[in-house]
Amino acid sequence: MLFEGLELVSALATLAACLVSVTLLLAVSQQLWQLRWAATRDKSCKLPIPKGSMGFPLIGETGHWLLQVFSKIFSHEALESYLPKIQLVIQDTLRAWSSHPEAINVYQEAQKLTFRMAIRVLLGFSIPEEDLGHLFEVYQQFVENVFSLPVDLPFSGYRRGIQARQILQKSLEKAIREKLQCTQGKDYSDALDILIESSKEHGKEMTMQELKDGTLELIFAAYATTASASTSLIMQLLKHPAVLEKLREELRAQGILHSGGCPCEGTLRLDTLSGLHYLDCVIKEVMRLFTPVSGGYRTVLQTFELDGFQIPKGWSVMYSIRDTHDTAPVFKDVNVFDPDRFGQARSEDKDGRFHYLPFGGGVRTCLGKHLAKLFLKVLAVELASTSRFELATRTFPRITLVPVLHPVDGLSVKFFGLDSNQNKILPETEAMLSTTV
């Protein structure tokens, strides 16, 4: 009897300790997100910091007018106009990777690629290539220190982060001013054009500070997540040559893959991509098994019950994307990389709304998800049609989950062009990018 009583007390103590640790963990991690967002912007910025989401601070609350603007930025029409530029940036990058005599660090290069895509395509800045390289280094210094404690001492991470942010904001201001003055030679509207124009339409002309903060936050949302998914895509194509071959078959059947590689320079269209069903399955499977973001936060708006536990209104809760994918009963052999699970014959994701959510869910779902999927599809098409690539290490690297999922040593891969002529960066591509973007 005494033992039973002691066991009960010890079980209750363990439960209480667990509850306290989970609550502390939630509170600390949520504070870190808030600090992260606070660190991306200047003190004078009046834009709201979001509650109950790890989402985009520029928008803040769900009813905000900026949400409507963002639906325009990522509309079908807008994506169609970004597509040729995205393809050019990717083709150019793959040529550079293939002409590199050594193996490259895929995760690092994918970060540069997504940064370049955000700067050149999404924001339409025509920053010279050398300056872009320097800006990328400063941006990395900023990202590495975003989570630091707000202790403003010399050499502290916080000080380094703030310094990096100031340099970035200076360069962004210069690029925004140049862009506002020079609209000639542009054949499409980028996200920043739409943001500026639509805010005027809503009678809310944005200040230079808001534009700089908004721009920085847009790069932040797009950069690490898409680089993580791009690296996972390349790793899975390396691990599963049969999947790569099936993808090439599909491209060949659609007339996209020609012997000697894809001759098309920036000619892909959205409807061509939506006709590639196996490609869609491959991207979905990469995002299921290697979801870049672990989860998100929500504030409970109404008390509810879950599995017999009452969750009170006002509480902060965290949902896990990774655990959801790992435990969803709809997926057979959850740990196996099997794109066909999303094919017409099996459609494992068709039952239930919340089993598959690499981009989150509900009203705060990822606003850039269509752009991200588009980017990944173009990358896969270009890899399959123009590149041969081999793992440069004996074994595949270990994966770590923070701050986003990525291989520990970055994934070392040697790229070769399918056609040796394609290993050169074509001067026309450079010229086209610098005039139109």
Contacts of 347 (CB under 8 A, 6+ apart): none
Can you list the pairs that 71-74 forms with residues at least 24 positions away whose Cβ atoms lie under 8 Å? 71/367, 72/194, 72/198, 73/191, 73/194, 73/195, 73/367, 74/367, 74/368, 74/370, 74/371
Q: Indicate whether 110 belongs to the interface with ligand HEM (CB under 6 A).
A: no
- The length of the chain is 437
Q: Indicate whether 54 belongs to the interface with ligand HEM (CB under 6 A).
A: yes
Q: Which stretch binds ligand HEM (CB under 6 A): 34-42, 141-149, 253-261, 290-298?
A: 290-298
List the x/- string, 379-418, binding to ligand HEM by CB under 6 A.
----------------------------------------
Number of H helices, E strands in the chain: 14, 9
292 DSSP 8-state letter:
S
61 DSSP 8-state letter:
S
Q: Indicate whether 83 belongs to the interface with ligand HEM (CB under 6 A).
A: no
Q: Indicate whether 364 belongs to the interface with ligand HEM (CB under 6 A).
A: yes
H-helix or E-strand containing 412? strand 412-417
Report how far residue 270's alpha carbon sits from residue 279's, in angstroms, rounded to the nearest whole number: 13
Please report the beta strands in 243-308, taking only residues with DSSP state E, as ranges in sequence order. Answer: 295-299, 304-306
Q: Which stretch binds ligand HEM (CB under 6 A): 91-99, 368-376, 395-403, 416-424?
A: 368-376
The single residue among 45, 221, 234, 243 that binds ligand HEM, judged by CB under 6 A, is 221
Report how far residue 115's alpha carbon sits from residue 219's, in angstroms, rounded to the nearest whole number: 7
Q: Which stretch binds ligand HEM (CB under 6 A): 223-231, 303-311, 341-349, 384-392?
A: 223-231
Task: Kindly state the smallest distance separating residue 428's Cβ from ligand HEM, in Å.
Answer: 27
Closer CB to ligand HEM, residue 95 or residue 120? 120
Q: Indicate whether 233 belongs to the interface with ligand HEM (CB under 6 A).
A: no
Report how far residue 267's alpha carbon sits from residue 263's, in angstroms, rounded to the nearest whole number: 9
The single residue among 293, 374, 381, 413 that binds ligand HEM, judged by CB under 6 A, is 293
- Do the beta carbons of residue 164 and residue 139 sit within 8 Å? yes
Q: Indicate whether 320 belongs to the interface with ligand HEM (CB under 6 A).
A: no
Q: Give the pair of three-digit tokens for residue 119.
A: 């700067």
Q: Indicate whether 55 belongs to the interface with ligand HEM (CB under 6 A).
A: yes
Q: Indicate whether 222 belongs to the interface with ligand HEM (CB under 6 A).
A: yes
Residue in 94, 128, 65, 1 with CA at minimum distance from that of residue 433? 128
Q: Indicate whether 86 belongs to the interface with ligand HEM (CB under 6 A).
A: no
Q: Indicate whether 372 belongs to the interface with ligand HEM (CB under 6 A).
A: yes
Q: Give the pair of three-digit tokens for residue 387.
A: 């590149």
Q: Indicate whether 366 belongs to the interface with ligand HEM (CB under 6 A).
A: yes
Paired sense of beta strands 387-391 and 412-417, if any: antiparallel
End-to-end CA distance of the chain: 78
Map residue 200 onto helix, strand or coil.
Answer: helix
Q: Indicate whether 215 belongs to the interface with ligand HEM (CB under 6 A).
A: no
Report how far residue 300's alpha carbon sits from residue 314's, in angstroms, rounded to the nearest whole number: 5
Task: Kindly state the smallest distance separating residue 326's Cβ from ligand HEM, in Å.
Answer: 16
18 is known to lie in a ligand binding site: no
Residue in 148, 397, 385 with CA at minimum distance from that of residue 244? 385
Report how far residue 152's alpha carbon sits from residue 124's, in angstroms, rounded to the nearest whole number: 34
Q: Indicate whether 121 belongs to the interface with ligand HEM (CB under 6 A).
A: no
Q: Which stretch binds ligand HEM (CB under 6 A): 50-58, 234-242, 379-387, 424-432?
A: 50-58
The single residue among 36, 45, 47, 59 that binds ligand HEM, judged by CB under 6 A, is 59
The single residue among 161, 339, 358, 417 that binds ligand HEM, judged by CB under 6 A, is 358
Q: Indicate whether 56 belongs to the interface with ligand HEM (CB under 6 A).
A: yes
Q: How many CA atoms lie within 13 A of 367 on its CB side?
A: 25
Task: Kindly state the smallest distance separating residue 56's Cβ from ligand HEM, in Å.
Answer: 4
Closer CB to ligand HEM, residue 268 or residue 357? 357
The single residue among 218, 256, 379, 405 that binds ligand HEM, judged by CB under 6 A, is 218
The sign of the dihedral angle between the CA atoms of 38, 57, 131, 408 is positive
Minimal CB distance residue for ligand HEM: 55
Task: Kindly state the smallest distance separating residue 115's Cβ from ligand HEM, in Å.
Answer: 12
Tell me, by CB under 6 A, how many residues bind ligand HEM: 25
Residues near ligand HEM, by CB under 6 A = 50, 53-56, 59, 218, 221-222, 225-226, 229, 292-293, 296, 358-360, 364-368, 371-372
Provide the annotated binding site for heme: 366
